[in-house]
Amino acid sequence: MPVSFTTLQIYDQYLTTYRDKGNRDGYDSKSNKRRYRYATHDLNELQDIYTSIQWKNRFAPLYLTEPTPQSIAFAVHLKECASNLSQTLDALSGDSDDMFSMKSAYSDNEALATVEYVPEDAQDTVPPAFFLTVERFASPQINTSKYMRASQPVAMPPDSYSFDMITNKLHYELQFNVSEGETHSELQNKLARLINNSDIGVSAKVLESHGRSALEITSDAYGKPYQSEYHFTINDENTSYNSGIVDYLGLNRNIRKAVNAIYSIDGEEKTSYSNSFPVYDAYHVTLHPEIMSASSPTDNITAQAAAIDHSESLSANIALYPDTESLSNNIEAFVGGYNHFLNEVLDDDAESPLTRLLANDLQKFLKLHSQNLEKYGIRVNEDATLGYEKTEDVTNTDALKGFGMHMLRKLNAISLDPMEYIDRRICAYPNPNAAYPNPYVTSIYTGMLFNTYT
């Protein structure tokens, strides 16, 4: 199908309606970031999917369906949710194909640093633990203008003005008008909106203190610039309209240069352009500069205490969880992902025609595995959701891995043919003596998606 304005609208509708709905609703799975690594397929996987479609269609009867906008939306949304949960399960498999074998890391000072363990990125052997100390956080460039009386009118003649901002060797000219009687605060807020709406790699806000206001401009980039002294420069020497506003507001008066983060791993000093960096390629560490502002001293006694605790507050032990703890984290991530999947695709009304078949199918599926799941603290509720209570005596995970493989196959089957859960009537069974693939049966939901808009 050629790309046109109509098809672009279709794709936009599809992505905004179904893709990442969990993130928009505030769902935060522990494996949410990692699972996107498994969102693509290689050639062999695509060939397997095509073969599965052919095999399923070879023996599938002919159905009569009456698609409605509601059933179309349900089928596509069910496919997306099943695919997301499959990616979560894949992400919990770690380096091997063993289900729920993914190791996870922790930081004993999460106010300073959080960590994500991604063993696929490691090139060499990864140590199970290391000691992190932070000397300085990475910071952006910040230009702060003069503090001026907020309610005082601007002393510049009303006219059209402009100034140039150069970022990463790109030249932008920002144009604006100064109106009669406009105050400093109004002008600063106007410039802040102009800068923020321009999307040129910097952001701006107005600072207010004791009836005075100033314009603060901050670079989006952190760390020392690679080839220059500043991330951005401001001037109005060769601008198109009237100049003078840069000196009047003092946009270059107070410049705080961007700096790199300085930290040590087991005593070895390193630097980073940002507050997120890899350690041994497998640990992805994120520093949180807020710890400094949250613990800013308010008096001399607090300042002395802060100085004593400075080395402790800016250090952290980072290590891998023991296998039992990692298993518990994996189970908790799966249970959360499964419950989210269920809440997304099932209506509040259990007897709804669009959810009745799926709810009954999942109930039967979980009942087959409920006895094994209880050994690991997983409880199957009456509404087909799962509950989890951590157990300490888990030694054999074979039954759990078996359940994971069965769940993965179930999700793949749902993704392959979400129309399986739409009410439909059988018109004819296939001829057993002349089995041939019908490529349109399991792909009918795709055609309905396009037919809705074209």
| Residue 72 confidence (pLDDT) | 79
| Residue 35 confidence (pLDDT) | 53
Handedness of CA 225, 230, 234, 240 (dihedral sign): negative
Largest separation between any pair of C-alpha atoms in the chain:
92
Confidence check: pLDDT of 416 > 80: yes
Based on the fold, state whether residues 251 and 311 are members of the same structural domain: no
Q: Please report, for residues 74, 164, 239, 240, 387, the alpha-carbon distance to residue 171 in angstroms, rounded to integers and kept in the order given.
A: 48, 7, 11, 13, 56
Based on the fold, state whether residues 348 and 208 are members of the same structural domain: no
Token pair 């129309």 in the structure block, residue: 419
As a whole number, mean pLDDT of residues 112-127 equals: 87
**Higher-confidence residue: 23 or 218?**
218
pLDDT tens by residue, 53-69: 777 777 777 777 777 78
- Which of 16-25, 47-56, 124-133, 308-317 is modeled with the greatest confidence? 124-133
pLDDT band at 10 (very low <50, low <70, confident <90, very high): low
| Residue 453 confidence (pLDDT) | 40
State how many domains the chain has: 3
Based on the fold, state whether residues 87 and 203 are members of the same structural domain: no
End-to-end CA distance of the chain: 12
Q: Which residues pair with 235 in a beta bridge?
A: 164
Q: Which two tokens stand for residue 65?
A: 């369906």
Confidence check: pLDDT of 190 > 90: yes
Lowest mean pLDDT among 24-38, 102-116, 326-340: 24-38
Confidence check: pLDDT of 445 > 90: no
| CB neighbourhood size of 160 (10 A) | 11
pLDDT band at 415 (very low <50, low <70, confident <90, very high): confident
Amino acid present at 20: D
State how far the Cα of 73 lies from the Cα of 79, in Å rounded to an integer: 10
Based on the fold, state whether residues 156 and 252 are members of the same structural domain: yes
Based on the fold, state whether residues 200 and 286 are members of the same structural domain: no
Domain end: 227, 256, 285, which one?
256
Based on the fold, state whether residues 131 and 268 are members of the same structural domain: yes
Based on the fold, state whether residues 14 and 28 are members of the same structural domain: yes
Based on the fold, state whether residues 343 and 440 are members of the same structural domain: yes
Q: Which residues pair with 331 in a beta bridge?
A: none
Percent of the chain with pLDDT over 90: 39
Cα–Cα nearest to 192, from 164, 156, 216 = 216
Domain end: 269, 300, 320, which one?
320
Based on the fold, state whether residues 264 and 279 are members of the same structural domain: yes
Based on the fold, state whether residues 26 and 68 are members of the same structural domain: yes
Across the chain, mean pLDDT equals 81
As a whole number, mean pLDDT of residues 193-200 equals: 92
pLDDT tens by residue, 342-368: 888 886 555 577 778 888 888 899 999
As a whole number, mean pLDDT of residues 96-120 equals: 86
The model's pTM: 0.70
Q: Give the range of the structural domain holding residue 283, as residue numbers without chain letter.
A: 105-138+260-320
| Residue 25 confidence (pLDDT) | 47
The values of phi and psi at residue 325, to 5°, are -70, -40
Domain end: 233, 256, 279, which one?
256
| Residue 14 confidence (pLDDT) | 54
Based on the fold, state whether residues 329 and 316 are members of the same structural domain: no
Based on the fold, state whether residues 335 and 435 are members of the same structural domain: yes
